[in-house]
Amino acid sequence: MTDARRRVPRTDVLLSDPRLAAAERTLGRALVRKAVVDAQERVRAGALSPESAAEAAVAALPRAATTLRPVVNATGVLVHTNLGRAPLSPAAVEALRVASGTTDVEFDLTSTAARRARRGRGALAALAGAVPRAEAVHVVNNNAAALALVATALAGGREIVVSRGELVEIGDGFRLPELLESTGARLVEVGTTNRTHLADYARALGPDTGCVLKIHPSNFITTGFVASVPVAQLATLGVPLVHDIGSGLLAPHPALPAEPDAATSLADGADLVTASGDKLLGGPQAGLLLGRRDLIERLRAHPLARALRVDKLTLAALEATLIGPPPPTRDALETPTAALAARAAALVDRLTSEGVAAEVRTSEARVGGGGAPEVVLPSAAVALPAALALPLRAGHPAVVGRLHGDRLLLDLRTVPEEDDPTLLAALLAAAPAPHATAPAPHTTGTGPHATGTAP
C-alpha cells in the first residue's frame, strides 16, 4: 500500500485552490504560503490526509493581515484603554476607507495652479466648529504629545507652575511630571497634596514663568479637606494658562456634571486647552489643542510639531467623528437603562430557549479611560456562569465581560444594539445547550471588576 505521506500535494497545486488564491489577494502570499506549508507538514506527519490539505490551509488562515482581533466590549467600561478606547462610528470607519488611498490631505484641487494646501484643513475646521470659543486649533497624535508640545514651545528652559495635587500618573506607569520635565521645562510645584490656593500660584510667578498648568486629575477624586483653584481665578494671573482637561469632552454633558469641557474652560479664561480625541469625544487617538490664535500658531510652527504630526487616517476619522452622527461612545453614555434591560431580557429569552443558563442582572457601568471616576452609569447585563469567560474571550469575535462572584456579567451599555446578533451567536457557540449549567440565585448590584485587565 502506498504511504499517504508520499502523496503530499504540491505547493503550486494548493496555492491554485480558488479559496487560497483569493486569500492571497487580501492577506498576502507569505501568510497563505505559511498555511499551505503547515498543512503539508501535517500530511507528512500522518496527521492529515492529502485530500484535506487545502481545507486545512484555508481553515488556518487569519481573518485579516493583522494580529489584532475584534472584541465585543461587554465590560461596562465605555472607554476601555486595553480594548482600544473609543470605538469609531460607521462614518469614521468610512472616512478611513476613503483616506486609505491617495487623497488631497495637503493638496489644493481647486486652484488653477496645483499648489500645497493646509494639512488636515477639514478636520481642523470641524474641530473649530465644535468649539467656537477657540480662536484656533491644532491636532497632534495624543494628549501626552499635546502637553509635551506646550511645555516645549512655551516653557522649554523655563518654568511651569503647577499644583502638587495635580501631578498625576497616567496609564502604564507614565507620570506627567516626568513627561513635562523631559522637555527641558522646570516644574514649580505649589500648594499641598490636598489644598492649593490662588496665592500659592501668584507667589510662584516670576520672569522665568512660561505658563501656569492646570491638570484635571481625571482618574481619581479627592474628598474631605481639599481645595483647588478654578480656571476663572487662574486666568487673572496674567501669564499663559494651559488647562489639560484630559478626557476630551468638548461641551458640557448632563451625565457628567463634574467633568471639565473645552468650551467652558475657554469661556472661563484658559488660553490653551488640551484633550484626548479617543475618549469621550469618541474619535481616533489624537491630542487636541484649542485656544488663543497666537499660542496655537506658536505651537504649530515649533520644530517638534512635525514629529507629533497626525496622519491622514487620523484626520479623516476625527473629522467624521466631529461632523457625523453620534459615535458609539456617546450612544453608550446616553442610552436609557430601560432600553438596555429590554435588550438583556431578549438575549436571555433566546439563550434560555436554547438551554443556556442566563439571567438578567442590574449592573453599574463606568466611563473609564481616566474620565469621570466618580460617575456610576446604571446599566443591565446578561449573567452567565463564570466558566464561560475564557471560552468567550477565545472565540471569534472575542467577547470580554467582567466577573462578579461566580457569574460572568456582559454589560450591554458598552455593546451597540446592532451587535446583539453577533453577541448572541458568540454566546451560543461558547455555551452549547448540552453543557449548560443551572443559573445561580439572582442578586442585584455589581462593581467594575474587569476580567484580567484594567480600563
User: Which residues, 6+ apart, have CB-to-CB distance to 141 below 8 Å?
Assistant: 285, 286, 287, 308, 309, 310, 314
What's the sign of the alpha-carbon dihedral 54, 57, 62, 66? negative
Q: How high is the pLDDT of residue 433?
A: 54
Pick the CATH number of 71-77+331-435 from 3.20.20.110, 3.90.1150.180, 3.90.1110.10, 1.20.5.510: 3.90.1150.180
Backbone angles phi, psi at 78, to 5 degrees: -60, -45
User: What residues are paired with 142 via a beta bridge?
Assistant: none
Angle between helices 29-44 and 18-27 (to 10 degrees): 140
3-class DSSP assignment, residue 452:
coil
Q: Note the pLDDT of residue 223.
A: 83
pLDDT at 4: 57
Non-local (6+) Cβ contacts of 80 within 8 A are 73, 368, 369, 414, 450, 455
Q: Within its chain, how far is the Cα of 371 from the centroid?
A: 12
> What pLDDT is attached to residue 442?
42
**Which positions of the chain have pLDDT values less than 70?**
1-6, 432-455
Q: For position 168, what pLDDT does the model report?
A: 87
Q: Treating both helix axes as pointing N-terminal to C-terminal, what angle do 420-430 and 337-353 enclose, rounded to 10 degrees?
A: 40
pLDDT of res. 3: 61
Spatial contact of 365 and 335, defined as CB atoms under 8 Å apart = no
Structural domain boundaries in the chain: 12-60, 71-77+331-435, 89-324
CB of 366 within 8 A of CB of 378? no
**For the segment 371-403, what is each residue's pLDDT rounded down to a tens digit?**
888 899 999 999 999 999 999 999 999 999 999
Domain 89-324 has CATH 3.40.640.10: yes
At residue 411, the pLDDT reads 98
- Contact 366/78 with Cβ under 8 angstroms? yes
Classify residue 158 as exposed, middle or buried by CB count within 10 Å of its CB (0-12, 13-18, 19+): middle
DSSP state of 47: S
Report the distance separating Cα 251 and Cα 326, nearest Å: 14
Q: Extract the C-alpha cell encoding 9.
A: 500535494
Q: What is the pLDDT of residue 253?
A: 95
Q: Are 168 and 162 in contact (CB under 8 A)?
A: no
Please state, in angstroms and rounded to a whole number, the distance separating the CA atoms of residues 409 and 401: 6
Cα separations in angstroms, 229 against 161, 266, 329, 330, 351 = 13, 15, 30, 30, 53
Q: Which of 326, 339, 327, 325 is nearest to 412 (CA)?
A: 339
Q: What are the φ/ψ torsions at residue 378 (nearest 5 degrees)? A: -55, 140
Of 86, 71, 78, nearest to 448 by C-alpha is 78
